[in-house]
Chain A
Amino acid sequence: MSRKFFSGPFILILPSILAIGFVIIIPLIFSFYTSFTSYKLTRPDSLFNFVGLRNYERLIDNTKFWYAFGRTILFLAVVLNLELLFGLGIALLINKITWGQRTLRTIMMFPMMFSPILVGFQWKYIFNDNIGLLNNFLYLFGYESAIPWLIDKYLAMGSIMVAEIWANTSIFAILLLAGLLGIPRDPIEAARVDGCNSWQVFKNITLPFLMPFIFIALTIRSLDVGRAYDIVHIMTGGGPAMRTELIWTMIARIGYKDANMGFANAMSYVSIILSIAFTYYFFTKLVAARRDLGQQ
Chain B
Amino acid sequence: MAEVKLKNITKKYGDVTAVQNMSLDIPHNEFLVLVGPSGCGKSTTLRMIAGLEEISGGEIYIGDQVVNEKDPKDRNISMVFQNYALYPHMTVEENLGFSLKIAKEDKEEIETRVKEAVQILGLEELRKRKPSQLSGGQRQRVAMGRAIVRRPDAFLFDEPLSNLDAKLRTQMRTEIKKLHQKLKTTVIYVTHDQVEAMTLADRIVIMKDGVIEQIGTPLELFEKPATKFVATFIGSPSMNMIEAKITNISGELYMETNDGISVLIPKHKKNSLAEGQKIFFGFRAEDIVPLKFGQKPKNSWSMTSKVNLAEPLGTETLIFTNLGNTEVVSRMFTPELVNSNDDLEFALNLDRTYLFDGDTGLAI
Contacts and interface: CB of A to CB of B under 8 A. Distances in A.
Given A190-B79, A294-B132, A197 B85 contact: no
A187 B52 contact: no
Contacts of A58: none
Contacts of A205: 87
Contacts, number: 70
A115 interface: no
Contacts of B99: 194-195
Given A190-B87, A191-B87, A294-B89, A196 B81 contact: no
A212 to B, nearest CB: 11
Interface in B143-201: 146, 150
A87 B204 CA distance: 50
Contacts of A195: 73, 99, 102-103, 150
A192 B72 contact: yes
A190 B81 contact: yes
Interface in B35-80: 50-52, 71-73, 75, 77-79
B296 interface: no
Interface string A278-296: 0000000000000011110
A240 interface: no
A210 to B, nearest CB: 11
A208 B89 contact: yes
Contact of A193 (B79, B84, B86, B130): B79
B88 interface: yes
B52 A189 contact: yes
B98 interface: yes
Contacts of B132: 294-295
A208 to B, nearest CB: 4
Contacts of A189: 50, 52, 72, 79, 81, 85
A292 B87 contact: no
B131 interface: yes
A191 B87 CA distance: 9
A189 B83 CA distance: 12
Nearest to A189: B52
Given A195-B102, A195-B103, A200-B102, A186 B81 contact: yes
Main secondary structure of the interface of A (DSSP, over half): helix
Given A186-B81, A189-B52, A196 B73 contact: yes
Contact of A294 (B71, B75, B88): B88
B44 to A, nearest CB: 13
A204 interface: yes
A196 B77 contact: no
Contacts of B75: 193
A293 B78 CA distance: 23
Contacts of A196: 73, 102
A196 B103 CA distance: 8
With a 10 A CB-CB cut-off, give which of A190, A192, A196, A200 has the most chain B CB atoms.
A190
Interface in B85-113: 85-89, 98-99, 102-103
Contacts of A191: 87, 98
B85 A186 contact: yes
A190 B85 contact: yes
A197 B51 CA distance: 13
A292 B89 CA distance: 5
Contact of B130 (A190, A200, A294): A294
A173 B316 CA distance: 64
Nearest to B83: A186
A193 B72 contact: yes
A196 B73 CA distance: 6
B83 A193 contact: no
A97 to B, nearest CB: 18
Given A186-B85, A294-B132, A194 B102 contact: yes
A195 B132 CA distance: 24
Interface of B: 50-52, 71-73, 75, 77-79, 81, 83-89, 98-99, 102-103, 130-133, 146, 150
Given A191-B98, A194-B150, 5 more contacts: A192-B51, A193-B78, A194-B146, A195-B103, A204-B87
Interface of A: 184, 186-187, 189-197, 200, 204-205, 208-209, 292-295
5 contacts: A193-B51, A193-B79, A195-B99, A195-B102, A205-B87
